[in-house]
Structure 1
């Protein structure tokens, strides 16, 4: 019988498929299946991703069709995300704001909502960083990722409810500990910070998807070291400003129609920065990213799906 499922794990050339709750094909003998894709997928250059909604035959355990995606990221391979949760430590290591802004722009460009969680706020206050993003993105602060009865953790659970969310972050930020508090049964491996390097080692090696008791799924990814920022997937300079939601009220209000929002007289975005309505660090990140985007040729950009 053909059923509807979602891929929750890649296992070599096979995939673990969970039966979707909206599957209406009748009662099933189990909730999860180990499936192989149809042989024709390779000829058609179809690669299933974690998060893909699929049709599969529960008798032969074969994925017969990958349904249309609403979005995708290639590194790590994930599809149909509702939001990405960026887990950022306030210290040990300190945040890399430019790198975070790049990831936020990539998510915006792909139509994926972003949530920012600052950890270790018991060691280093988060306000300096959180104030940059408040009012632009949902921002949560967790004072100790090992403490389950934490207001930040409870607020995050509410944000995750009934959504498909990917977790990523800098090494040593406490992502695995945070996930263990959200889903105590996960028992994900955690590592201490290297005293020599001042940063952690990534303990997540692949993408895995877990179902939440409150509804929805979370994907644990290997972190910033694998999150896509390759030149092939970067944003053209004319699109970049639209990937900064805090710029939105000022776009189209500049003196010059072709304003780059980097240094022109009469730029509404620059005036907003001067007035404190847009964070200076956000504009600094934009200017650096704009210079990088200027070097990209149109034929280097991968078409959006």
Structure 2
């Protein structure tokens, strides 16, 4: 028996790095019976069969897990945005940041293509909200030296809308990978999908990176009842004001004496972040009613 981490899952095979070699493994049938699937990032025990093959025998306890993309044990989500083509909607960043907070996962905002547009507004929003925020250019190399210590020694997942430069950044950090990159469609203002599956890469600087498909992969499975109940606490800048409202059950949407809304009016919370909160609140609003009707 050996222990390792799943680097890639593809077509029913799991590629497990044991430190000595990468084994091509199938998973035991018991996982299917238990409704459990091994995920990229999982620490697992494997039974070696020889010739570079094996079976995944057990999944070690997880720090966290995401359903789409199917990954586990993430230390931080690196959400990549851009003010150039394709331009990133702040709501997409905020949606992922809320899900990450629910999972106990740190978030860093990485603004790429700053050689084309410095993304002043996005930079202002997320630095004010307290997120580590860095402007870089995969094309010119600007900011990459500052990025390396922020990802070294951590397992990070890179995500962002298609065409924003995830694979280009990985190539710039470690050219040995030569990941496929896509051209930007000028008609649609978005990139062609080049990342088809989740894969864990180990960079020469010591960082471990998961490259994943774009924002569209974070589907509604993650917008669950727990997020509905805990939504206010997933917005980090709300923290000083939670529990200070006039009403204990304040939703922070329209009630009188709401400390969060007072902070918004005082300029202590960014309007776009609050608008994202309201939008998520509305998305989650019918969730409990639907579940209760099924009971």
Instruction: Give the TM-score of the pair, scaled to structure 2.
Output: 0.92
1:238 Cα shift?
Answer: 3.2
Q: Is 1:160 equivalent to 2:154 in the alignment?
A: no
1:223 Cα shift?
Answer: 0.9
| Counterpart-to-counterpart distance in 2, 1:294 and 1:46 | 29
Say if 2:99 and 2:227, in contact at 8 Å, map to a contact too: no
| Counterpart-to-counterpart distance in 2, 1:171 and 1:251 | 35
Q: Is 1:189 equivalent to 2:180 in the alignment?
A: yes
Could you say what secondary structure the match of 1:288 adopts? helix
1:137 to 118, 122, 131: 131
1:120 to 101, 109, 113: 113
| Counterpart-to-counterpart distance in 2, 1:42 and 1:230 | 19
Say if 2:64 and 2:72, in contact at 8 Å, map to a contact too: yes
1:90 to 83, 92, 101: 83
More helix by share: 2
| 1:167/1:300 CA distance change after superposition, 3 Å | farther
Q: Is 1:46 equivalent to 2:36 in the alignment?
A: yes
| Counterpart-to-counterpart distance in 1, 2:104 and 2:290 | 22
Say if 2:225 and 2:288, in contact at 8 Å, map to a contact too: no
| 1:121/1:300 CA distance change after superposition, 3 Å | farther
| Counterpart-to-counterpart distance in 1, 2:271 and 2:29 | 52
- Which residue in 2 is equivalent to 1:76? 69
| Counterpart-to-counterpart distance in 2, 1:19 and 1:133 | 38
Say if 1:236 and 1:298, in contact at 8 Å, map to a contact too: no
1:164 Cα shift?
Answer: 0.8
Alignment gaps of 5+ in structure 1: 21-29
Where do residues 179-218 of structure 1 align in structure 2 (5 Å cutoff)?
179-218=170-209
- Which residue in 1 is equivalent to 2:98? 105
1:206 Cα shift?
Answer: 0.7
- Which residue in 2 is equivalent to 1:23? none
1:232 Cα shift?
Answer: 5.8
Say if 2:65 and 2:103, in contact at 8 Å, map to a contact too: yes
Could you say what secondary structure the match of 2:97 adopts? helix
| Counterpart-to-counterpart distance in 1, 2:193 and 2:23 | 29
1:63 Cα shift?
Answer: 1.4
| Counterpart-to-counterpart distance in 2, 1:83 and 1:234 | 23
Alignment gaps of 5+ in structure 2: none
Q: Deviations over 1:7-55 (max 9, x none)?
A: 00113222110015xxxxxxxxx42111222232222222111001001
Q: Is 1:248 equivalent to 2:239 in the alignment?
A: yes
